[in-house]
A = this chain, B = another copy of it.
């Protein structure tokens, strides 16, 4: 076993931080570490917190961290920040509140930029969760910004998905139509002191009753005022209830296996894309092809299909290679 894996399994936060950086840089060394630590994962529980900008997700994460630390649990926080040349990543204000946890050795905080990826959740976050898990983290909180298709990615990593809304999110139906209802295991209406919060909760409950999203689980709707801490412990109770439910039913095991398959497929897909992009600068033939496409001497879609067809040949690809995975 590599030294990095050993240190990581011993809970060394510096090693953890270093391997995460390697993963972010697509360093080939990461494969070995992920492989070595994989059998030692599965102990951590992952909670995804998503919702529209301004709903108070960071404050909720801050309050949950406080609560979990009081219970003696170790916490990992992964904040996914859409990269922005304008804001230079997350707005500082959002994370300032977290600072009190930075000095706590039982808390590991990491911001992950999406780097212009089209999906909302960087695929490598799944590897990061496993690294945190192997390092002995009890609870991993993954916070993602925005509502919409991008948020569906949270399902790829979280055992329990908490959708955070606030009364001002516009009307509940509009907010929830963007595919978000299917992913929510739990709703939070934050800023519950404001007008319309009770009504929003009622509307969500009514929508869930009209069209249940999960066979044996009705997502609870919790009202919170994260800034003052109100409702946070109730929120956590509901997370625990959901954890209990998916652990007892075989749902958790199913979700986790599904996710591993998904990650494998996505990693292949993205790695192919990454290599293609690298070739844009390094491979003269490929650069020439791209120029043909750019200058309307070749059509993008059909050229791409032709390239894939000739690279992968028959529908069997990569049949002969799959046996090599060890």
**Which one of B54, B213, B289 contacts A175 once the chains associate, using CB atoms below 8 Å?**
B54
> How far is it, in angstroms, between the C-alpha of A276 and the C-alpha of B126 when the chains are bound?
20
User: Would you give the shortest CB distance from A260 to chain B, in whole angstroms?
Assistant: 5
A277 on the interface (CB 8 Å rule)? yes
Given the complex, which residues of B lie within 8 Å of A290, measured CB to CB?
Answer: 261, 264
Closest Cβ neighbor of A211 among chain B residues:
B86
Task: Decide yes or no: A31 and B306 within 8 Å by CB, A119-B118, A298-B326 being known contacts.
Answer: yes
Interface segment out of the listed A77-85, A197-205, A242-250: A77-85
Interface segment out of the listed A6-14, A99-107, A135-143, A148-156: A148-156
A216 on the interface (CB 8 Å rule)? no
A130-172 Cβ-contact flags toward B at 8 Å (1 or 0): 0000000000000001111111110000000000000011110
Q: Are A35 and B288 in contact (CB under 8 A)?
A: no
Q: Are A120 and B148 in contact (CB under 8 A)?
A: yes
Closest Cβ neighbor of A120 among chain B residues:
B149
User: Would you give the shortest CB distance from A65 to chain B, in whole angstroms?
Assistant: 22
User: Would you give the shortest CB distance from A316 to chain B, in whole angstroms?
Assistant: 7
> How far is it, in angstroms, between the C-alpha of A307 and the C-alpha of B275 when the chains are bound?
13
User: Would you give the shortest CB distance from A29 to chain B, in whole angstroms?
Assistant: 11
One complex includes copies of this chain to the number of 2
> How far is it, in angstroms, between the C-alpha of A321 and the C-alpha of B318 when the chains are bound?
17
A155-197 Cβ-contact flags toward B at 8 Å (1 or 0): 0000000000000111101111111011000000000000000
Closest Cβ neighbor of A26 among chain B residues:
B305
**Which one of B83, B182, B323 contacts A86 once the chains associate, using CB atoms below 8 Å?**
B182
> How far is it, in angstroms, between the C-alpha of A304 and the C-alpha of B266 when the chains are bound?
8
User: Would you give the shortest CB distance from A128 to chain B, in whole angstroms?
Assistant: 11
For A178, A266, A269, the residue with the greatest tally of chain B CB atoms inside 10 Å of its CB is A178
> How far is it, in angstroms, between the C-alpha of A280 and the C-alpha of B268 when the chains are bound?
13
User: Would you give the shortest CB distance from A120 to chain B, in whole angstroms?
Assistant: 5
Given the complex, which residues of B lie within 8 Å of A170, measured CB to CB?
Answer: 52-54, 168-169
User: Would you give the shortest CB distance from A281 to chain B, in whole angstroms?
Assistant: 11
A96 on the interface (CB 8 Å rule)? no
A282-326 Cβ-contact flags toward B at 8 Å (1 or 0): 110110111011111011111111111011100111111111111
For A35, A304, A307, the residue with the greatest tally of chain B CB atoms inside 10 Å of its CB is A304
Task: Decide yes or no: A173 and B322 within 8 Å by CB, A258-B294, A269-B273 being known contacts.
Answer: no
Given the complex, which residues of B lie within 8 Å of A53, measured CB to CB?
Answer: 147-148, 170, 174-175, 177-178
> How far is it, in angstroms, between the C-alpha of A127 and the C-alpha of B145 when the chains are bound?
30
> How far is it, in angstroms, between the C-alpha of A30 and the C-alpha of B299 when the chains are bound?
12
Given the complex, which residues of B lie within 8 Å of A318, measured CB to CB?
Answer: 286, 307, 310-311
For A39, A114, A298, A325, the residue with the greatest tally of chain B CB atoms inside 10 Å of its CB is A325
Task: Decide yes or no: A272 and B269 within 8 Å by CB, A150-B148, A173-B91, A285-B322 being known contacts.
Answer: yes
> How far is it, in angstroms, between the C-alpha of A84 and the C-alpha of B271 when the chains are bound?
28
Given the complex, which residues of B lie within 8 Å of A305, measured CB to CB?
Answer: 28, 31, 267, 271
